[in-house]
Amino acid sequence: MARAARHSYERRARSRYPHLGATRQLPRNPCQSGVSPRLCVIRRHRLLPLLAVVLLAGCGPDPTTLAERERRAEQQRLLELCQRQRQKLPELLARFEAAERSLAAVQEARYTPTPGPAPLDPEEQRRLTIYDQQIEQDLHEQAVDAWRRVEAERRERWEREHRARKRAALDALNAAALPLRQLHPELLQVGAPPRLNSTEVERFRECSAERFR
């Protein structure tokens, strides 16, 4: 009797105060709320690529920012290098430029032949007998042949010495370029013979923070 009375009381209490009864269970996810299963699957597939993009953007480094940081770090390194070598650089550049001028002077040199025998004077030849004219002509031809032999030997000797001077001047230029290349390769242009990169040389000569940004 007591149990039946208690159950009857609980039924009346729930009918009068429904909020005191068992609470309504909410679905754990939208797919349990009566939405079509097919529509729920479509929504999930649409969200997956977006979620992947968000995760990659949040975890991976920004390539633009990374490249800019690397560029700034390299410029800072070059500025510090320039400041350390500021006293030494003018001497290295002066040595290179002197060697460059020496090589240019050798390359511009041209052989100067000695004067050959003067041609025979026609007026003088007319005053001579035919026999004397022939003798003069033979002597002149012999003098010209001798001059040509001597001149050929002299020219060959000059060219041989010129090649040696050119090699020596080029060796001196390469030797002067070596410490510049070791200091900062971009101070020199690519190719042979070595040449200064005027833009980079001026930047290192100025050696200001504004030029290394």
Angle between helices 198-206 and 89-108 (to 10 degrees): 150
**More confident position, 161 or 25:** 161
Q: In this predicted model, what pLDDT tens digit does every residue of 145-163 receive, in sequence order?
A: 999 999 999 999 999 999 9
Q: Where are the domains of the chain?
A: 67-213
pTM of the shown model: 0.59
DSSP secondary structure, the chain, as one string: -HHHHHHHHHHHHHHH-GGGSPPPPPPSSGGGTT--HHHHHHHHHHHHHHHHHHHHHHHS--HHHHHHHHHHHHHHHHHHHHHHTTTTHHHHHHHHHHHHHHHHHHHH----PPP-PPPPPHHHHHHS-HHHHHHHHHHHHHHHHHHHHHHHHHHHHHHHHHHHHHHHHHHHHHHHHHHHHHH-GGGB-SSSS--B-HHHHHHHHH--GGGG-
Give dist(CA 188, CA 178) in Å, integer.
Answer: 10
pLDDT band at 204 (very low <50, low <70, confident <90, very high): confident
Confidence at 41, pLDDT banded by 50, 70, 90? very low
How many whole angstroms separate alpha carbon 4 and alpha carbon 158? 137
Mean of all residue pLDDT scores within the chain: 79
46 pLDDT above the threshold of 70: no
Any idea which of 90-94, 126-130, 163-167, 193-197 has the lowest mean pLDDT?
126-130
Stretch among 169-173, 177-181, 201-205 having the lowest mean pLDDT: 201-205
Write the pLDDT tens digit of every residue in 49-67: 555 444 444 454 555 688 8
Residue of 137, 140, 101 lying closest to 117 (CA atoms):
140
